[in-house]
Structure 1
Amino acid sequence: MAGVGRLSSKDAVLLLCDMQEKFRPNIFQFTNIVSNAARLLQASRVLGIPAILTEQYPKGLGPTVPELGAGDLKPHAKTSFTMMSEDVVGELQALGNPKQAILCGIEAHACIACTTFDLLEKGMEVHIVADAVSSRSQTDRLFALSRLRQSGAFLTTTEAVLLQLVQDSRHPNFKEIQALMMQPSPDTGLMAFFSAL
């Protein structure tokens, strides 16, 4: 059934956008956003989901923060607000053009938004992990999430993604995924989004 948004580990890619050192002091809920993204990256390794990492102008904004745990990934440097650089598009093609993107990182109203628009225009299904996405201001973050939902992206949470990817407690990797959910996701201020609807 088209448009339901059911995630599948067989046809997904995890996109990790610009979680860099210089953003640390200025991004709303930065520590919790990166913590949730790190769990998604761990799950992607367990489930065999490829991950792609970008860095916005790393010469000026520094490297990806170490707590993301992405040291094994080759970051794609960029200056544009979209992740869809020539290198990233080439990597997606090499992966067989996955149909679903799980998107996390910063900033919601800039690089996450531009990436989402590009992915949707390419016909990809976009799952924005709302508690793994942020901006400098909570206002920009919440309005961006609302805007992106209007454009056709699915909004979800870290734990929801983990559960949807395994689907069943009999999944061979369920115990490993369950271990990633032992601690509930921290509150990242999303209830304000729903009270505004």
Structure 2
Amino acid sequence: MSTETKRAILDPITPENAVLLIIDQQEGLFSRISQPERTRANLLALAHVSRMLGVPAVMTTVLSAGSNGPQLADLGEIFANQPIIDRTLIDAWKEPRVKEAIMETGRKKVIIAGTGFEVCAQIPALSSVAEGYDTYVVLDACGLFSPSPSIAAISRLSQAGVALVDTRPLVLAMMADNAHPRAREIYATLPAGLVRMDSASVS
């Protein structure tokens, strides 16, 4: 990993410099993953908080007319009336419509949540970081087709400079301040078992 890549990853991620890329979070694929309810809870929390903070989202499916099925209905409710880019290319980053949508946001930090992790998240994450983007893969919001993520995928992403993160620390890093006007709403959106804020926790 280059010094420049290390510096970019350490730069704070904010609602002003980030874009959320939701890749192939589809009903058919989701029905085959390990721990679907936990993954769904983290994914929807990530989507809800991104929406609350004003982080733009780009959403893709692959072969949605087939067994992969349509995008999760809950995501459609969060990002109402937003187009979904359906494609045939395995690497979502190589789809020109996806690249154009990302570039139009002007953001250089790309947050990826894809099902499944080893292909739908890993491959575009490697492509995006190779083109100079600061890329974050939200591991607990990516569907896994086995109980544990691939060590090979984690190693490859880490070597390439992709940041592997979980939902809670990522969204709280973007919120940045417990005095944020939507802090309570954001904490309440996090799945059960994650830190929640009450009046006693604010100094």
TM exceeding 0.5: yes
In structure 1, the residue corresponding to 2:159 is in which secondary structure?
A: helix
Q: Which one of 115, 120, 125 corresponds to residue 116 of structure 1?
A: 125
In structure 2, the residue corresponding to 1:3 is in which secondary structure?
A: helix
* TM-score for both structures, normalised by structure 2: 0.83
State the match for 1:125 in structure 2: 134
In 2: Cα distance, 1:2 partner to 1:24 partner: 32
Gaps of 5+ in 2: 1-6, 195-203
State the match for 2:16 in structure 1: 10
Identity %: 27
Greater Rg by CA: 2
Q: CA deviation at 1:5?
A: 4.7
Aligned residues of 1:15 and 1:101 also touching (Cα < 8 A): yes
In 2: Cα distance, 1:56 partner to 1:31 partner: 22
In 1: Cα distance, 2:56 partner to 2:31 partner: 29
* TM-score for both structures, normalised by structure 1: 0.85
In 1: Cα distance, 2:134 partner to 2:9 partner: 8
Q: Which one of 98, 102, 111 corresponds to residue 111 of structure 2?
A: 102
In 1: Cα distance, 2:162 partner to 2:143 partner: 16
Aligned residues of 1:34 and 1:67 also touching (Cα < 8 A): no
Q: CA deviation at 1:63?
A: 0.4
C-alpha distance 137-45 of structure 1, shift in aligned 2 (>3 A):
same
Q: Which one of 80, 86, 89 corresponds to residue 96 of structure 2?
A: 86
Q: Which one of 77, 81, 84 corresponds to residue 75 of structure 1?
A: 84
Measured on the aligned residues, the alpha-carbon RMSD in Å equals 1.9
Q: CA deviation at 1:52?
A: 0.9
The count of residues paired between Structure 1 and Structure 2 equals 184
In 2: Cα distance, 1:102 partner to 1:160 partner: 13
Q: CA deviation at 1:11?
A: 0.7
Higher mean alpha-carbon deviation, 45-54 vs 65-74, is at 65-74
State the match for 1:28 in structure 2: 34
